[in-house]
Structure 1
Amino acid sequence: MASTPQLPAPEIQPVSSGFMRAYGRFWDVLSVMIFSFAALFILYSEREALAWQHWAAAGLMAAQAGLYIFAIALRGWPIRRAWLAVYFIGGVSMWLIAGLLYPSTWWIGMTYFGQMFGLLPPQAVIPGSFIINVIIVLYASDWNVANVTPGMLFGFGFQWLGGMAVYLFIFNIIRTSQGRAELVTKLEAAQRELQASREKDVELAALRERERLARDLHDSLGHALVAMTVQLEAIQRLYRVDPERGSAQIDELKALTRRSMADLRRSLDGLRAPGLGERKLSEAVQALSVEVGQRAKVQIESRVPPEVDALSPAVQEALWRVAQESLTNIEKHAQARRVHLSAELQPHAVTLVVKDDGVGLPPQAEALPGHYGLRGMRERVEGLGGTLTLNTANTGTTVEARLPVIAFSSAIH
């Protein structure tokens, strides 16, 4: 059996889920540390004259850390939109209140600016980060629009535009990586399904081959052994009264034994029938035609152009099996004198025709018990999207297999 093709390694490896989880935990720890540091910074800076405003501002900083842990860090990814709304609306509101109580906490807005990049989609990041920048500018101007200078507008505006450019670039990389990871996962799943299907096909083919061999041995060797037993009993009785007729019966028994040995060899040859493997299809079919013709004393004309060797391995194997099974049936059952085997290539299809002048097939041959070879040919051809046609009469049988070929017109020319 041909080995399953391996998936090519992508030029850019997708980011692993383990790395993304570790990356997310890093930002979780960093965000909590920033809010905690802000709370401690307020208390430490005003330690000489702590007032309720300072305690309230520090408490709001700590509450933002708790809100982040509850709404973001403890939630599985992806985080639901409801939790994101709770966190950003609640957190920004607490930051605004803390800013009114202690204006030096304006820089906490940069934390929300960065968190939006990692947690929100672009349609929410762009307006959300713009609002955060406007609030920071108002913080810096003591909530007095008259104090806003062109330098402040230019600086924070440039910061926002630069942040957006970096964010959109990183977002595109992550989305591409995730898409590639999903594609690789699907391809790997398809590869496993294909391998499982091939293994089932091999097992089914082995079972069919065992049934065919059992049928052949029963029909040929089993019947021959019964006939030999009857003849031996007859010879035993004849020799006492008519030795000459007994000798004639022995000659018939010898001929029956030779025919039985020939049938057994054909059954064993069929059991050992190899797949196409690494051989060229045109050469393999020609060699098979010569071999069967010599063994069955049949004139076989084989015309298979070398262009078929450029077909896909699956199509070549299917054509080989059809040729193999057709010639085997001709040798065993057709009583033919002439056989014509040909393959023809068209831009989008290939057709294999095997025609003999034998006794033909019985009616509804495929439906008869034991005709696994015919059914196997049809299943193999139709499994590749092709068609198998059997035309039979008392003047012979024609087997025609037609398989689709994708983008083969260039190979024909």
Structure 2
Amino acid sequence: MPTFRLFVSMHFAIATLAIAHWLVAPFPPPSAVVPLAVFSLLSPGLLFVYLSIPTLRRTLKSFYLPIGIAWAAAGALAGPILDPYINLSNLHATSNTAPELLAQVVLWRQIILLLIPLVVLSWQYAMRQVVVFCALTSVLNIALLSRSMVLEQMISSSLLGIVVVQTIIFLLVGLMIVKLMNVQREQRQRLSEANARLTLYASTLEQLTISRERNRMARELHDVLAHTLSGVAVELEGLRAMLRLDVERANVLLNHSLQAIREGLSETRRALKELRARPLEDLGLALALRALAESYATRFDFGIELTIDADLGDYGAEVEQCVYRIAQEALTNIAEHAQAHTVQLVLKRDRDHLRLLIGDDGCGFDPNLGAEGNHYGLLGMRERSELIGGRLAVTSQVGKGTQICFSFGGNQ
């Protein structure tokens, strides 16, 4: 609409200059054409006002733009009948070809004015409407020219040629604009669909991540709270049975139960703290992984050998989170099941290749039984690595420990 209003204001300026020329001309225009001159000035002026009132657009809705286009076209088509009537009487005595030359000038000037509604029409509608517009303007042009040239003769072939050329120009311009707008609409549609798919993917990924974190925390709380509370319940049952028979044995069971409760409470607090803490954001991957490994080694009393590159580059939050969670899950499995004395953790970067290696000298397990057993931790690590395009390899043998290798980037 701002572009349409700009074009209409240009039309108004051209009409104003034309009337100013008539007023200062040696031969004043006949009084019969004064209403037409007023129309040529008022038409673009009133159309500009029409296009500047938002209330009309809300009221007329889908009819608002077609009315404006028809209005602009009618104002442009008034030229062929207005200028010849004003000047024919003055030019007739001078030259027999003057009226035709004047009509040719008016037709060429009219192309500029009719481009205003044509551009807006092509911009907003399809090629069918452009063809109808070109046909109507051509018919009206021929009719108006025939009427204005009636004093001389029937409309000449040169004027018909100009009308044909004008129509061809309008069709080519309209076709070009319609095709450009169709391409733009298709691109906008594809972009909208891509954004919708990306939003859905992001939402699904977020839900999947939340679900996996919930499953991991459920397993941790199950291993900590469920096992602790089950053991305490059994010990309290024994304590109740032995309270009257063997007080010393009952005190031993009581102390053991209190110790188990304290350990369970400590593990629960640790798990809850991990939900709130953001070690990667606060420390970075290298320091966060070192702190995690040392914390597990201290709490579960096993030796730790750390080899972590200080400069790991920038792999993005998603990759760093995956590496941290895989290391955390591996250390948790070692602490709970491996019965290891020494753990080795290596994190190295070779150009664009990141490699994490975690090995232990624990009891190991048979990897072929993973699908039948309850190795949910290994399954979670594999899912995390596949999600970011990494690769996870697990090597283990009963009595000879376990080695977990995660790689990302490069040729893996």
- Give the alignment's TM-score, normalised by structure 1: 0.60
Unaligned runs of 5+ in 1: 1-17, 123-170, 407-413
Residues 122-159 of structure 1: CA deviation (Å, up to 9, x unaligned): 9xxxxxxxxxxxxxxxxxxxxxxxxxxxxxxxxxxxxx
Paired AA for residue 101 in structure 1: M
Residues 243-268 of structure 1: CA deviation (Å, up to 9, x unaligned): 23333333333343344334434443
Structure 1 residues 187 and 210, CA, compared in 2 at 3 Å: closer, same or farther? same
Q: Which has the larger radius of gyration?
A: 2
Query: Does 2:318 correspond to 1:314?
Result: yes
| Counterpart mapping for 1:234-313 below 5 A | 234-272=238-276, 274=278, 276-277=280-281, 279-313=283-317
Structure 1 residues 69 and 346, CA, compared in 2 at 3 Å: closer, same or farther? closer
Residue 39 of structure 1 corresponds to: 81
Paired AA for residue 126 in structure 2: I
Whether the 8 Å CA contact 2:302–2:341 is kept in 1: the answer is: yes
Query: Does 2:171 correspond to 1:119?
Result: no
How many residues get paired?
Answer: 324
Whether the 8 Å CA contact 1:276–1:317 is kept in 2: the answer is: yes
Residue 380 of structure 1 corresponds to: 384
Paired AA for residue 35 in structure 1: L
Residue 149 of structure 2 corresponds to: none
CA distance in 2, matches of 1:110, 1:325: 78
Residue 399 of structure 1 corresponds to: 404
Whether the 8 Å CA contact 1:281–1:309 is kept in 2: the answer is: no
CA distance in 1, matches of 2:382, 2:3: 50
Whether the 8 Å CA contact 1:356–1:397 is kept in 2: the answer is: yes
Whether the 8 Å CA contact 2:122–2:130 is kept in 1: the answer is: no
CA distance in 2, matches of 1:320, 1:218: 21
- Give the alignment's TM-score, normalised by structure 2: 0.60
Query: Residue 329 of structure 2 aligns to a residue in which SS?
Result: helix
Q: How large is the RMSD of aligned CA atoms in angstroms?
A: 4.8
Residue 154 of structure 2 corresponds to: 101
Whether the 8 Å CA contact 1:32–1:69 is kept in 2: the answer is: no
Query: Does 2:234 correspond to 1:230?
Result: yes
Residue 126 of structure 2 corresponds to: 79
Paired AA for residue 407 in structure 2: R
Residue 343 of structure 1 corresponds to: 347
Structure 1 residues 346 and 218, CA, compared in 2 at 3 Å: closer, same or farther? closer
C-alpha deviation, 1:377, in angstroms? 2.7
CA distance in 2, matches of 1:242, 1:274: 49
Paired AA for residue 351 in structure 1: R
Residues 66-97 of structure 1: CA deviation (Å, up to 9, x unaligned): x99999977774532x6655655775587578
Structure 1 residues 352 and 19, CA, compared in 2 at 3 Å: closer, same or farther? farther
C-alpha deviation, 1:187, in angstroms? 6.5
Residues 212-238 of structure 1: CA deviation (Å, up to 9, x unaligned): 434444444334334333333333332
Structure 1 residues 19 and 108, CA, compared in 2 at 3 Å: closer, same or farther? same
CA distance in 1, matches of 2:191, 2:378: 34
CA distance in 1, matches of 2:5, 2:379: 56
Whether the 8 Å CA contact 2:304–2:344 is kept in 1: the answer is: yes
Residue 158 of structure 1 corresponds to: none
Query: Residue 318 of structure 1 aligns to a residue in which SS?
Result: helix
CA distance in 2, matches of 1:72, 1:272: 59
CA distance in 2, matches of 1:302, 1:363: 25
Calculate percent identity across the aligned residue pairs.
26
C-alpha deviation, 1:276, in angstroms? 1.7
CA distance in 1, matches of 2:120, 2:260: 86
Residue 14 of structure 2 corresponds to: none
Whether the 8 Å CA contact 1:282–1:309 is kept in 2: the answer is: no
Whether the 8 Å CA contact 2:365–2:402 is kept in 1: the answer is: yes
CA distance in 1, matches of 2:338, 2:3: 67
C-alpha deviation, 1:102, in angstroms? 4.2
Whether the 8 Å CA contact 2:4–2:120 is kept in 1: the answer is: no
CA distance in 2, matches of 1:312, 1:213: 24
CA distance in 1, matches of 2:72, 2:291: 74
Whether the 8 Å CA contact 1:356–1:396 is kept in 2: the answer is: yes
Paired AA for residue 324 in structure 1: Q
C-alpha deviation, 1:365, in angstroms? 6.9
Residues 359-378 of structure 1: CA deviation (Å, up to 9, x unaligned): 23564676468755433332
CA distance in 2, matches of 1:230, 1:340: 37
Unaligned runs of 5+ in 2: 12-68, 93-99, 147-152
Structure 1 residues 304 and 210, CA, compared in 2 at 3 Å: closer, same or farther? same
Query: Residue 243 of structure 2 aligns to a residue in which SS?
Result: helix
